Amino acid sequence: MAKRRFYDCNLSEKILYSAFLVLMGIGYLMALTYLYASHELHDGEPGLSINDVAETYYGNRSGTRLEAALRGPMSAYISTDDRTEIVAWLKSGGDKAAFESNVNPVIERQCLMCHSSEAAKQFGNIPPLDSYDSVRSLATVDTGLSLLTLVKLSHIHLLGIGLVLLGIGFIFCLAELNPYLKYALILMPFTAIVADIFAWFLTKWDPVFAYTVVTSGGLLGVAMAAQIFISFYQIWFLKPRKALKDSA
């Protein structure tokens, strides 16, 4: 008996496979949208760039969140002298006595009208600056996602995507295709997701691996899309060779 192909499937199977492929396709697009929206503004520039990816995992170690804000979005609210004062305090280790004498007066004068704890409660993106502790919490070096968070995200991704790939690949096995191309397309997304997640950890260590994250993520998408489109097309449009001859 010949190998089983999509044209050997009954209508129930075709409907089931198609519905699953469409669902996974939509799910993947949602994942991409979320990825874009949540990473886009990491480096302060609109659009998802390699820098956004690097800063997600590696952080921005050239400074603290407070210094980054004072040089970036908050620079309009502070004079150069006052900023130098706060940056010097950050560089000196940020102790409490120097905070009370040099930093707090500036913050009270320049920042508190917007950064009170009431405002912070009302708007999630405004950090409160009304105490030593709250300012101090913005004075730590930004080192990106923590290892624990990465492990958490890794296991969710590996287990979840593994099952999705099993489902899509199981259907794709019925496609009529050059066998070597088929083996490669089945193996490719599994390799890509492992490389992608491995590269998250490497990027935490060296931001250059952000390129690996993006490349392997792209390969995962390409392989999944290829499996979905080839399967979907063959389910509904591929006729067995014999039938082609009969109709010719």
Structure tokens at 16: 């089931």
Task: Pick one of 26, 29, 34, 73: the residue that binds ligand HEC (CB under 6 A).
Answer: 73
User: Which one of 11-19, 36-44, 65-73, 207-215 is the stretch in contact with ligand HEC (CB under 6 A)?
Assistant: 65-73
164 sits in the region (left: phi over 0; alpha: psi -120 to 50; else beta) called: alpha
If one asks whether residue 173 binds ligand HEC (CB under 6 A), the answer comes out as no
Nearer to ligand HEC, 55 or 196 (CB): 55
Distance CA 220, CA 49 (A): 18
Residues 6+ away with beta carbon under 8 Å from 47: 40
Task: Pick one of 21, 90, 111, 185: the residue that binds ligand HEC (CB under 6 A).
Answer: 111
Q: How far is the CB of 148 from ligand HEC (least distance, A)?
A: 21
If one asks whether residue 103 binds ligand HEC (CB under 6 A), the answer comes out as no
Structure tokens at 77: 């609210």
If one asks whether residue 174 binds ligand HEC (CB under 6 A), the answer comes out as no
Distance CA 81, CA 59 (A): 27
If one asks whether residue 70 binds ligand HEC (CB under 6 A), the answer comes out as yes
Cα 206 from chain centroid (whole Å): 17
Q: How far is the CB of 66 from ligand HEC (least distance, A)?
A: 5
Greatest CA separation for the chain? 92
Q: Considering only residues 183 through 242, tell me which ones interact with ligand HEC, judged by CB under 6 A.
A: none
Cα 207 from chain centroid (whole Å): 15
Structure tokens at 160: 């979840």
CA dist 131 → 101, 102, 106, 141 (Å): 13, 14, 13, 19
Task: Pick one of 48, 54, 78, 174: the residue that binds ligand HEC (CB under 6 A).
Answer: 78
Nearer to ligand HEC, 139 or 210 (CB): 139
If one asks whether residue 157 binds ligand HEC (CB under 6 A), the answer comes out as no
Positions touching ligand HEC (CB under 6 A) are 65-66, 69-70, 73-74, 77-78, 110-111, 113-115, 125-127, 129, 138
